[in-house]
């Protein structure tokens, strides 16, 4: 190798070394100078331990400042796996105290981390047991837990919060953003073993507590509602029950309760009961919906106080027969409302027509959610107008073929009570911060003037007669003028009406001159009695009476005779009537019934017709099956009267007065009888009568 080659190689080596040093120096400059801040931040993050601080969730109060939901301090078990020496023993001992699986706890303690949740928000006695164990690397962290001091009271309205204090149901989720607040943090430097570095970086970012809610709910009225719901479920064994109380002048919800229910302190014990039926349940309202039909007819001027209506017990519409609870005969408009006559309301619906009726159905808010500040609200179901024919129109007029929600129904009644102005239901009155400063206030929100003040006042007068003289007498509160309407609807399942499943309801408000409360009671599938007058009206009466007294609403002065008339009712004559019609008549009178023997024809009753008894009294009905010999009557003979043209109820009364029995066939007016008129027969004889609709 020549000296020149050697020299060239030495120069090349030096150049390579120089370039390498230059490259390394440049890389060091880039890392230690240009990227210094980034790598220092990464190093700090590797050493930093971050712990989140839960804020205190806002308190929920009723309208009088009584706490309905607030946070309490509880302990949470956490671990620093790097500090746990004997992991298997620690996991086993900890699992026994906390009621956890030992293998799962061991898996957490074996992770390469400085912080692990073991079990959150434990009971105080369990926390004390953990303290007494004195385990290395196991700590108790203070957190907050949502607490509902009244248990099931207003559970569906309040809802509940989850493990991280996040709203999951009810008002808790609707106003979660205001209630939750913001998280705080504690930052600190630690070694790879999880121990604090003396003099290391520390930073504390405080949490911000959530805002407080003041609801429209009145805790006292809510208690009354909860008690009556329990009584309904106990007495009637219903599938579900709902009661809503509102202030019709503001739209504020004063109480809202449903059964079955759950305890928001332990919601996982009854997850099937979380749904709030008061805003979710779609049902056919039956006769309570007649308020809408009557309001529309009065507002449109298609009926007047002087109009006459005739009910023969049924009406035929496009070949379909629609039955009434009884053959009411000739009636005024007030009688049609008071007697809850299906035939009368079908006639009114026909006069209105579908365009006008739907105009008011939609104006009262049906077919869409009310916008109440609760999650999961349904809007009801309306048949599209282009699918509404004569039969559908007739059904809609008396509350069938349309599905509503309880909150819609009580809002509608509130509109009539509020001189025709429909208001949005309100749950929250104010939002305030944790220092008491007003953040947001809520005022009544009107949707519009649905009917005139004059129409609302006239309709209130008719609805007052329902309670004073009609089907709602069992809802009367002595000393107060109330308006209301009973409802008894068969349930629709798989496109057919069941016949043996019903929804009983009562909807009303009062006092009529200055309404303070609107109340709806809905009972789904009551067992035994199923009429709204027997199942729902007594609960309405109890809630209305105690709530008015609590609110200090003075009663209207009444005479002793009037007060006694509200407590005692005359027993109607149901002898000779078919059993189904007799039950209806007794139910309308606020009376129960008890059957003696088997059969379908009533041959005697006790107490006798005309006797005055307390509301709710059971009338014993003695039945005949048509096969066994009739009970022996006193000796004597009577002449059979001419029954042609009489309704079933009229014929039953006439024959009953003569101690004769009626065997009826068909509906409408009497067209044939056996024995013939003027025939002399023995007392207690059976008279067969055929009934048919009149030809015109």
Summarised one tens digit per residue, pLDDT across range 544-556 is 999 999 999 998 7
Q: Which of 10-24, 73-87, 307-321, 352-366 has the highest mean pLDDT?
A: 352-366
Q: What is the pLDDT of residues 428-454, one digit of tens each?
A: 999 999 888 999 999 999 999 999 999
Written as one string, the DSSP assignment of 307-358 is: -EEEE-SEEEETTEEEE-SS--EEEEHHHHHHHT-HHHHHHHHHHHHHHHHH
Helix axis angle for 219-236 and 537-551, nearest 10°, is 160
Active site residue 373: no
Lowest mean pLDDT among 181-190, 291-300, 320-329: 181-190
Question: What is the pLDDT, as a whole number, of residue 680?
Answer: 81
Question: What is the pLDDT, as a whole number, of residue 696?
Answer: 42
Q: Residues 124-131: what's their mean pLDDT?
A: 86
Instruction: Please name the helix (run of DSSP H) or strand (run of DSSP E) that holds residue 46, with its range, or none.
Output: helix 36-47
Q: Which of 619, 305, 581 is nearest to 465 (CA)?
A: 305
Question: What is the pLDDT, as a whole number, of residue 230?
Answer: 94
- Whether residue 280 has pLDDT greater than 70: yes
> 408 has which bridge partners?
none
Rounded Cα distance, 427 and 443, in Å: 11
Question: What is the pLDDT, as a whole number, of residue 16?
Answer: 79
More confident site: 352 or 5:
352
- Whether residue 35 has pLDDT greater than 90: no
Question: What is the pLDDT, as a whole number, of residue 559?
Answer: 42
Q: Residues 241-257: what's their mean pLDDT?
A: 97
Rounded Cα distance, 103 and 113, in Å: 18
Q: What is the pLDDT of residues 141-153, one digit of tens each?
A: 888 889 999 999 9
Q: Residues 122-131: what's their mean pLDDT?
A: 86
pLDDT band at 630 (very low <50, low <70, confident <90, very high): low
Q: Which of 318, 339, 317 is nearest to 330 (CA)?
A: 339
pLDDT band at 607 (very low <50, low <70, confident <90, very high): confident
pTM of the model: 0.75
Question: What is the pLDDT, as a whole number, of residue 194?
Answer: 52
Question: What is the pLDDT, as a whole number, of residue 333?
Answer: 93
Residue 258 near residue 242, CB atoms below 8 Å: yes
Domains and their CATH numbers in the chain: 50-215 (3.90.1310.10), 219-263+282-558 (3.40.710.10), 569-692 (3.30.10.20)
Rounded Cα distance, 511 and 591, in Å: 25
Distance of CA 123 to the CA centre of its chain: 33
Exposed / middle / buried, residue 30 (Cβ in 10 Å: 0-12, 13-18, 19+): exposed
- Which one from 190, 287, 505, 685 is the annotated catalytic residue? 287
- Whether residue 480 has pLDDT greater than 50: yes
Question: What is the pLDDT, as a whole number, of residue 464?
Answer: 95
Residue 115 near residue 62, CB atoms below 8 Å: no
- Cα angle for residues 10, 13, 16 (degrees, 5° grid): 150
Residue 330 near residue 347, CB atoms below 8 Å: no
Average pLDDT, the chain: 86
More confident site: 246 or 204:
246
Exposed / middle / buried, residue 560 (Cβ in 10 Å: 0-12, 13-18, 19+): exposed
Q: What is the pLDDT of residues 487-534, one digit of tens each?
A: 999 998 877 888 889 999 999 999 999 999 999 999 999 998 888 999
């Amino acid at each position: 190798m020549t000296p020149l080659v050697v020299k060239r190689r030495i120069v090349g080596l030096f150049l390579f070394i120089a370039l390498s040093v230059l490259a390394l120096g440049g890389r060091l400059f880039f890392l230690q100078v240009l990227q210094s801040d980034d790598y220092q931040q990464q190093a700090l993050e590797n050493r930093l331990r971050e712990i989140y601080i839960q804020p205190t969730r806002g308190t929920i109060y009723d309208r009088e400042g009584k706490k309905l939901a607030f946070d309490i301090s509880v302990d949470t078990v956490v671990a620093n796996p790097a500090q746990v020496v004997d992991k298997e023993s620690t996991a086993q001992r900890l699992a026994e105290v906390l009621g956890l699986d030992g293998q799962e706890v061991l898996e957490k303690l074996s992770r390469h981390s400085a912080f692990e949740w073991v079990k959150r928000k434990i009971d105080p006695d369990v926390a004390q047991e953990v303290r007494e164990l004195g385990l290395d690397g196991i700590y108790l962290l203070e957190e907050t837990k949502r607490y509902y001091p009244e248990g099931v009271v207003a559970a569906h309205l309040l809802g509940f919060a989850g493990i991280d204090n996040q709203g999951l149901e009810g008002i808790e989720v609707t106003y979660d953003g205001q209630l939750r607040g913001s998280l705080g943090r504690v930052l600190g430097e630690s070694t790879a073993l999880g121990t604090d570095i003396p003099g290391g970086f520390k930073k504390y970012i405080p949490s911000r507590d959530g805002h407080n809610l003041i609801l429209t709910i009145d805790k006292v009225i809510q208690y009354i509602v909860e008690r009556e719901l329990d009584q309904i479920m106990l007495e009637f064994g219903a599938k579900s029950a709902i009661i809503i109380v509102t202030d019709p002048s503001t739209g504020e919800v004063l109480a809202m309760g449903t059964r079955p229910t759950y305890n928001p302190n332990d919601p996982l014990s009854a997850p099937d009961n979380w749904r709030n039926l008061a805003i979710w349940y779609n049902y056919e309202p039956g006769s309570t919906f007649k308020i809408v039909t009557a309001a529309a007819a009065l507002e449109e001027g298609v009926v007047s106080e002087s109009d006459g209506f005739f009910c023969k017990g049924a009406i035929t519409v496009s070949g379909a027969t629609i039955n009434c609870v009884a053959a009411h005969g000739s009636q005024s408009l007030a009688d049609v409302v008071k007697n809850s006559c299906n035939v009368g309301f079908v006639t009114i619906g026909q006069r209105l027509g579908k365009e006008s009726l739907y105009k008011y159905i939609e104006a009262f808010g049906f077919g869409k959610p009310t916008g109440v500040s609760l999650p999961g609200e349904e809007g009801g179901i309306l048949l599209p107008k282009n699918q509404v024919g004569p039969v559908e129109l007739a059904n809609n007029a008396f509350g069938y073929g349309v599905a509503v929600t309880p909150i819609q129904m009580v809002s509608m009644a509130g509109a009539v009570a509020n001189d025709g102005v429909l208001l949005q239901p309100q749950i929250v009155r104010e939002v305030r911060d944790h220092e008491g400063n007003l953040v947001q206030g809520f005022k009544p929100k009107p949707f519009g003037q649905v009917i005139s003040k004059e129409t609302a006042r006239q309709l209130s007068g008719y609805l007052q007669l329902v309670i004073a003289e009609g089907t709602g007498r069992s809802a009367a509160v002595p000393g107060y003028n109330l308006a209301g309407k009973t409802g008894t609807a068969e349930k629709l399942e798989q496109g057919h009406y069941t016949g043996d499943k019903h929804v009983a309801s009562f909807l009303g408000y009062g006092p009529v001159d200055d309404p303070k409360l609107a109340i709806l009671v809905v009972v789904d599938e009551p067992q035994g009695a199923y009429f709204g007058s027997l199942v729902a009206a007594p609960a309405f009466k109890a809630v209305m009476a105690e709530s008015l007294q609590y609110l200090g609403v003075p009663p209207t002065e009444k005479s002793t005779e009037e007060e006694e008339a509200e407590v005692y009712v005359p027993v109607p004559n149901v002898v000779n009537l078919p059993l189904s019609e007799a039950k209806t008549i007794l139910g309308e009178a606020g009376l129960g019934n008890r059957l003696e023997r088997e059969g379908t024809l009533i041959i005697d009753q006790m107490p006798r017709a005309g006797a005055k008894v307390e509301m709710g009294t059971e009338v014993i009905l003695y039945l005949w099956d048509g096969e066994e010999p009739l009970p022996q009557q006193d000796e004597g003979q009577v002449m059979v009267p001419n029954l042609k043209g009489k309704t079933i109820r009229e014929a039953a009364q006439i024959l009953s007065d003569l101690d004769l029995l009626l065997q009826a066939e068909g509906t409408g007016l009497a067209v044939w009888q056996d024995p013939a008129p003027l025939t002399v027969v023995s007392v207690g004889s059976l008279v067969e009568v055929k009934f048919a609709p009149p030809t015109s």
